[in-house]
Amino acid sequence: MRVHEFGNRPSPAVSTYGLRHIVRNADDDVKNYVTNDFYVDDALSSTPSAEEAIQILKKTQTVLKENGSIRLHKIASNSPTVLEAFPVNDLKKNLKTLDLCSDDLPVQQSLGLAWDLNTDCLIFNISIPDKPFTKRGELSTVNSLFDPLGFISPIIIHGRILMRDLCQEVNDWDQPLLTEFEKEWSNWKESLKSLHKLAIPRMYTPTSFSQATERSVHILCDASEKAIAAVAYLKTVSESGDVHVGFIMGKSKVVPVCGHTIPRLELCGALLATEVGRIVFEGLNLSPDVAKYYTDSMVVLGYLNNRSRRFYNYVSNRVSTILCHSKSEQWTFVPTHNNPADLGTRCFTTVEELVDSNWLQGPSHLLISNSDEQKRFPLVAPDNDKEIRPTLAVRKAVIEESGLHSKFEKFSSWEKLVIAFALLIRVARARKSQTQTLSVRDIGITKEAKIFILRLAQQASFRMR
């Protein structure tokens, strides 16, 4: 079979398998390029030099053509050297007619993002649809914003919060919403038009940091009554000791309308941080051990470092999930004013606010060498925390059967107890001597029974002495 139906469920998986099957016997660099940097039929990769990019592209072209009759073309790069190394027919359509020596390189669409080849920055070319002020129109407008890496999460979350608040009172999808919020909604849509001013460097670190001595991922999280957020940065230390912090990705979510406390939301923020971490580690091929997590909630840190108390299901399930993907030693405290994730829970209204904040630049404390000293974070007011199960005091009482004296309580009077033991003495003597013994009422047997009873009582009560 040479053709797969478009829209058929297994077609993408079969096509991807076929592409990887072609390079199964190729060199490792070609195999890694096709396996890790291809998404369906598009590839996006980065190399330290133009020479390496040219080499990997030409080798991949040869392998795909010889083994699968597949043509690798529509090449675009921010380096004119790379573009000049290939025939014009192999370049992207809008690059074929350019003079690579004098003309500016155009903006390319790469996996849904706009890539300015001249500045090597990712930009936003957003066209805001003119939709009616209804539930359907709001949903269409908010979902038209494509931001997979969370560059503008503090702005998008504002629209999502507005949509949630506006749609609570309206059930019909095409019913006009409350006019008192229409101005705020219009102002938010108007602020989106200035997103074209925003430019984010494509590279996490400058080329001067290519020979780094240390790389680590730092993930911060926070929560408010409206949203939770997490943001990840790559900290790179050069051979000379210089430090650079680069934005990797961020994520924000709207919280439920009711039913959640701030500690619960902070815990959900920590869970979101581990989700962001998993995406980052897989995408950058980094070990989770190089990560460090931050939160401004001492309650959450107490939950993650707890070793003595048990939680109810809501907290217990989330704590166990967090600790499955991170270690309690990787979590530490950060003040709110140094926590960029706090910005992801607010509502930015302009691009200028986003640019001036440390959401994209990262917190200043990452530029300073962090201490490796481990701090202890105990539970905060565990006796008053409703998420912590109460401590039950259990006492074990051991009752030992001590023979005849345990039967004393079955007699209602002293006289009956003495008569019973006198009878036992008489029967015992009768069996021993095979003769008729004295009467139970005999004074000697009665006295002997009393002495025997008192000795048993003393042994039971004063055995330790």
Spacing of C-alpha 240 from chain mean position: 34
Residue 439 CB-density burial (10 A; 0-12 exposed, 13-18 middle, 19+ buried): exposed
pLDDT of residue 109: 79
Return the structure tokens found at 395: 């006492």
Q: Which of 71, 91, 193, 208 is nearest to 141 (CA)?
A: 193
Q: How far is CA 245 from CA 97, 203, 222, 248, in A?
A: 38, 11, 20, 9
Q: Which residues lie closer than 8 Å to 158 by C-beta, 6 or more apart? A: 188, 347, 348, 349
Give the pLDDT confidence of 77-133 residue by residue, as tens digits: 988 899 999 999 999 888 877 766 667 788 887 666 788 888 889 988 888 878 888
pLDDT-based confidence at 220, cuts 50/70/90? very high
In contact, 250 and 269? CB cutoff 8 Å? no
Give the pLDDT confidence of 448-460 residue by residue, as tens digits: 888 888 888 887 7
The whole-chain average pLDDT of the chain stands at 86
pLDDT (mean) for 266-274:
96
Is 370 a residue whose pLDDT tops 70? Answer: no
Give the pLDDT confidence of 138-165 residue by residue, as tens digits: 899 998 888 999 999 999 999 999 998 8
pTM of the entire structure?
0.79
Is 403 a residue whose pLDDT tops 80? Answer: no
The amino acid present at 245, given as its one-letter code, is: V
pLDDT-based confidence at 262, cuts 50/70/90? very high
Q: Can you tell me the distance from the alpha carbon of 55 to that of 30, in angstroms, rounded to the nearest whole number?
A: 10
Higher pLDDT, 267 or 172: 267
Q: Can you tell me the distance from the alpha carbon of 210 to that of 185, in angstroms, rounded to the nearest whole number?
A: 44
Higher pLDDT, 194 or 4: 194
